[in-house]
């Protein structure tokens, strides 16, 4: 009978405190289910057949570690609410004669019951919803749907192992708190007031300074390379600054309200403000946690949604035609490889290959180009290689520009135009830059007069896909345009100029046939060196193949963003709920006294609304400010994924915030009712 005492006490404690434990258990079930689903997508066989399956599985594997780490940290955070509420009960057990060892056994059984329920329920829900998650992922990445039901033993074992370790750590932490607390400390744990943090002005100044510095970095970062090195530092500054500012702000805000006689000495404000002042420091930390989680959700879902819905624009820029081949001429042969005779022989061989395989190239784009990097400033291009060896990454990225010389006759032949230029003149076409100078001068080459801007051009070049800006210069004669620059050499003594011929075309074939023909075109076509062409190498891109890779990458990120956002939203909701519940129990006695002296239920409701509206929406407002300042630097980071549709990103971010604000308001309504039921006595705990 004695052996069953502790499990029975543990079970009864959970049942009687179901208002506290039920949301906690449901959250544990949800996290176990989410973790299993992510692992299922790593191990399940149907995902192996998806386009870009390797990339998808790597992202899901990384997401599983993020999920495990967040689950551990968050469950520790929420468990602290439970322990704060339960310490008084443990204190009563101690007075009745139980030793700390007995209390530890109760805690052991409570953890075992909750852990078993969480794992059983989470795995059941996870297995039940795993096929739905698989179908959603397959639909996002445009894969083939399989309707057979399956589950992953590997995912089950790893889920049990990870969450078993997490619950063991929770148990050890709970036992530690019991062992190092006296009976009186346990009994008075709920009545221990919060003192204002010392040197709160230092907290406030430090918080404002950190947020100001982070906002400044976000707004003034002008390029993607700098954003890589500064983003995570700015994120840490925002997190720390938010906590310091919220702790300081809650203290000062309550003091300001208490000093306002016209505001403070009213029935609906007096109780609410005094209650907030009672727990100032903890209130600020809770609000900061909610704010950080809200910001994480908004940033994550806005970024991944923009990448997914904007991948069509990125693909159209990088692959203007179904098949694109670039032939790199031998740099030491110089312009000879780009001579009309060499290019004519090369194209004739390509036409013969197409004819043999029954393919008629359509919408052909063919042009020669010479590619050279330089540092552009005030219309002057520095081509000295020493500038590319600087350790100042921001300096390089701020002015580093790629210049591409293209013969005007190639452009006229491709687009059916009749532009004419004189010697020393050029037409310009900008990629990722707004260069509009009247001239451009190369310090070791020629000076070109820019007589106009090209409006229509579909370049297929490294200059389009890289993050650095590029300027295409259409010139009447390649040889005279690059005179002097052909002497440039890098650190190894190799020529710096790249000589290329781009050949892009549509096949008119189905997507699968495009991939098949594109691969055969590379593997089975003539050997360029044996045919005497001055070509050193070649590369190719197949638009359909790239589309599937893009869809796998961006679709996987979008799916993972949704999964993690759901988890973070659950976490924020649970923090809000426990904040309201714990504060409700703390305020219950004060509101009980006020009711005895004549305070009505309606006045209680007004006081609650005053308290909640005073602080509840502060995290949402600050999250909106964080998001607004983060958008510029995030847009720079998205350039690394070739997302350049900034209006789309801003529109998606605004839509995500609107939806999140509606959800946040709904949570406010639910939790305010729970708080009201506790303090008014409408429902017993």
State the DSSP H helix or E strand holding residue 464, giving kind and residue range, or none if neither: helix 462-465
CB atoms within 10 A of CB 339: 17
Collect all residues with Cβ–Cβ distance below 8 Å to 229 and sequence separation of at least 6.
Answer: 393
What is the pLDDT, as a whole number, of residue 684? 43
The mean pLDDT of 478-506, rounded to a whole number, is 80
CB atoms within 10 A of CB 654: 13
What percent of the chain lies above the pLDDT cut of 90? 10
Q: Is the pLDDT of residue 209 over 80?
A: yes
- Residue among 150, 132, 121, 155 at smallest CA distance from 39: 155
- For residues 51 and 552, give the distance between their C-alpha atoms in angstroms, rounded to a whole number: 6
Token pair recorded at residue 51: 């386009």
Q: Is the pLDDT of residue 108 over 60?
A: yes
What is the pLDDT, as a whole number, of residue 405? 92
DSSP state of 391: S
- For residues 579 and 672, give the distance between their C-alpha atoms in angstroms, rounded to a whole number: 11
Q: Is the pLDDT of residue 382 over 60?
A: yes
- For residues 90 and 101, give the distance between their C-alpha atoms in angstroms, rounded to a whole number: 12
Q: What is the pLDDT of residues 160-188, one digit of tens each?
A: 999 999 999 988 888 887 777 766 666 55
- For residues 77 and 79, give the distance between their C-alpha atoms in angstroms, rounded to a whole number: 6
CB 159 within 8 A of CB 123: yes
Q: What is the pLDDT of residues 613-622, one digit of tens each?
A: 666 788 888 8
- Residue among 63, 76, 66, 79 at smallest CA distance from 23: 79
What is the pLDDT, as a whole number, of residue 194? 45
DSSP state of 370: E
| Global confidence as pTM | 0.72
Q: Three-state DSSP class for 326?
A: strand
Q: Is the pLDDT of residue 639 over 80?
A: no
- Residue among 30, 48, 44, 59 at smallest CA distance from 559: 59
- 673-678: long-range contacts, CB 8 A cutoff, minimum separation 24: 674/19, 674/577, 674/580, 674/581, 674/584, 675/580, 675/581, 675/583, 675/584, 675/608, 675/612, 676/604, 676/605, 676/608, 677/584, 678/581, 678/584, 678/585, 678/587, 678/588
Work out the pLDDT band at 552, boundaries 50, 70, 90.
confident
* 98 compared with 265, residue with greater pLDDT: 98
- Residue among 282, 311, 78 at smallest CA distance from 193: 282
Collect all residues with Cβ–Cβ distance below 8 Å to 180 and sequence separation of at least 6.
Answer: none
What is the pLDDT, as a whole number, of residue 574? 77
What is the pLDDT, as a whole number, of residue 236? 84
- For residues 488 and 382, give the distance between their C-alpha atoms in angstroms, rounded to a whole number: 12
Mean pLDDT of all residues belonging to the chain: 78
CA distance readout (Å), 250 to 246, 263, 659, 676: 6, 17, 27, 22
The mean pLDDT of 192-214, rounded to a whole number, is 70
What is the pLDDT, as a whole number, of residue 220? 85
The CA dihedral of 209, 660, 663, 671, to the nearest 10 degrees, is -10
Token pair recorded at residue 117: 């329920």
Burial environment of residue 251 by CB neighbours within 10 A (0 to 12, 13 to 18, 19 or more):
buried
Burial environment of residue 178 by CB neighbours within 10 A (0 to 12, 13 to 18, 19 or more):
buried
State the DSSP H helix or E strand holding residue 471, giving kind and residue range, or none if neither: strand 470-475
Listed range (81-95, 430-444, 590-604, 640-654) with the worst mean pLDDT? 590-604
What percent of the chain lies above the pLDDT cut of 70? 77
What ranges do the domains of the chain cover? 1-192, 199-318+545-685, 323-506
* Beta bridge pairs of residue 362: 506
Work out the pLDDT band at 124, boundaries 50, 70, 90.
very high
In SS3 terms, 478-493 reads as HHHHCCCHHHCECCCC
Q: Are strands 400-407 and 470-475 parallel, antiparallel or unpaired?
A: parallel
CB atoms within 10 A of CB 625: 13
What is the pLDDT, as a whole number, of residue 411? 92
- For residues 209 and 212, give the distance between their C-alpha atoms in angstroms, rounded to a whole number: 5
The CA dihedral of 358, 359, 360, 364, to the nearest 10 degrees, is -160
* 191 compared with 650, residue with greater pLDDT: 650
What is the pLDDT, as a whole number, of residue 670? 79
Token pair recorded at residue 551: 């869809």
Count CA atoms within 13 Å of residue 246 on its CB side.
28
CB 618 within 8 A of CB 310: no
CA distance readout (Å), 435 to 133, 376, 430, 446, 632: 47, 10, 7, 18, 21
DSSP state of 357: T
Work out the pLDDT band at 427, boundaries 50, 70, 90.
very high
What is the pLDDT, as a whole number, of residue 532? 62
Q: Three-state DSSP class for 330?
A: coil
State the DSSP H helix or E strand holding residue 295, giving kind and residue range, or none if neither: helix 280-309
Listed range (266-280, 307-321, 352-366) with the worst mean pLDDT? 266-280
- For residues 202 and 321, give the distance between their C-alpha atoms in angstroms, rounded to a whole number: 60
- For residues 240 and 298, give the distance between their C-alpha atoms in angstroms, rounded to a whole number: 18
Q: What is the pLDDT of residues 392-424, one digit of tens each?
A: 444 455 567 888 999 999 999 989 899 999 988
Residue written as token pair 């997508």: 41
CB 421 within 8 A of CB 412: no
- For residues 644 and 24, give the distance between their C-alpha atoms in angstroms, rounded to a whole number: 42
What is the pLDDT, as a whole number, of residue 153? 86
For the chain, the maximum distance between any two Cα atoms, rounded to a whole number of angstroms, is: 104
What is the pLDDT, as a whole number, of residue 271? 59
């Amino acid at each position: 009978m004695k052996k069953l005492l502790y499990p029975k006490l543990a079970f009864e404690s959970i049942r009687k405190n179901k208002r506290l434990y039920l949301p906690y258990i449901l959250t544990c079930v949800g996290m176990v289910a989410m973790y299993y689903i992510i692992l299922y997508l790593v191990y399940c066989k149907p995902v192996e057949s998806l386009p870009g399956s390797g990339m998808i599985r790597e992202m899901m594997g990384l997401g599983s570690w993020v999920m495990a780490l967040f689950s551990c940290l968050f469950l520790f955070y929420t468990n602290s609410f439970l322990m704060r509420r339960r310490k008084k009960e443990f204190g009563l057990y101690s007075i009745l004669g139980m030793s700390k060892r007995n209390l530890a056994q109760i805690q052991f059984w409570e953890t075992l019951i909750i852990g078993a329920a969480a794992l059983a329920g989470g795995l059941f829900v996870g297995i039940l919803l795993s096929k739905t998650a698989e179908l959603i992922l397959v639909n996002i990445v445009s894969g083939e749907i399989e309707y057979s039901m399956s589950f992953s033993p590997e995912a089950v074992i790893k889920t049990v192992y990870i969450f078993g370790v997490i619950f063991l750590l929770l148990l050890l932490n709970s036992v530690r708190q019991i062992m190092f607390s006296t009976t009186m400390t346990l009994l008075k744990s709920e009545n221990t007031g919060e003192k204002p943090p010392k040197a709160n002005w230092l907290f406030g100044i430090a918080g404002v300074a950190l947020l100001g510095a982070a906002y400044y970095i976000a707004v003034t970062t002008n390029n993607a390379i700098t954003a890589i090195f500064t983003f995570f530092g700015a994120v840490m500054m925002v997190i720390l600054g938010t906590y310091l500012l919220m702790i300081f702000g809650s203290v000062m805000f309550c003091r300001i309200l208490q000093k306002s006689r016209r505001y403070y000495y009213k029935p609906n404000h007096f109780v609410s403000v005094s209650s907030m002042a009672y727990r100032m420091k903890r209130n600020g930390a809770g609000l900061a946690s909610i704010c950080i989680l809200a910001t994480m959700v908004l940033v994550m879902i806005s970024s991944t949604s923009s990448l997914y819905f904007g991948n069509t624009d990125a693909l159209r820029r990088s692959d203007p035609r179904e098949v694109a081949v670039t032939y790199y001429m031998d740099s030491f042969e110089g312009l000879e490889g780009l001579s009309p005779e060499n290019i004519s022989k090369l194209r004739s061989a390509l036409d013969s290959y197409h004819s043999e395989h029954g393919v008629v190239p359509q919408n052909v784009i063919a042009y020669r180009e010479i590619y050279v990097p330089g540092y552009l400033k005030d219309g002057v291009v520095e081509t000295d290689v020493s500038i590319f060896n600087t350790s100042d990454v921001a300096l390089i990225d701020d002015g580093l520009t790629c210049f591409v010389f293209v013969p005007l006759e190639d452009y006229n032949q491709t687009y059916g135009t009749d532009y004419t230029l004189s010697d020393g003149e050029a037409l310009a076409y900008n990629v990722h830059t707004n260069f509009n100078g009247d001239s451009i001068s190369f310090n070791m080459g020629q000076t070109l007069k820019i007589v106009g801007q090209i409006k229509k051009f579909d370049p297929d070049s490294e200059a389009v896909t890289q993050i650095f800006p590029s300027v295409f210069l259409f010139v009447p004669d390649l040889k005279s345009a690059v005179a002097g620059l052909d002497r440039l050499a890098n650190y190894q003594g190799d020529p710096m100029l790249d000589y290329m011929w781009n050949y892009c075309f549509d096949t008119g074939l189905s997507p699968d046939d495009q991939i098949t023909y594109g691969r055969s075109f590379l593997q089975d076509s003539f050997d360029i060196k044996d045919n005497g062409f001055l070509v050193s190498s070649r590369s190719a891109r197949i638009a359909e193949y790239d589309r599937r890779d893009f869809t796998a990458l961006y679709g996987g990120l979008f799916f993972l963003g949704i999964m993690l956002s759901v988890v973070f939203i659950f976490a924020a909701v649970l923090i809000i709920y426990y904040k309201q519940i714990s504060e409700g129990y703390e305020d219950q006695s004060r509101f009980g006294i006020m009711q005895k002296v004549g305070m009505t239920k309606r006045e209680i409701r007004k006081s609650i609304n005053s308290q909640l509206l005073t602080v509840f929406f502060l995290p949402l407002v600050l999250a909106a400010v964080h998001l607004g300042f983060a958008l510029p630097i995030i847009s720079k980071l998205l350039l690394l994924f070739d997302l350049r549709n900034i209006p789309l990103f801003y529109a998606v971010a605004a839509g995500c915030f609107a939806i999140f604000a509606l959800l946040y308001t709904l949570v406010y309504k639910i939790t305010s009712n729970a708080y009201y039921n506790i303090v008014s006595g409408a429902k017993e705990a």
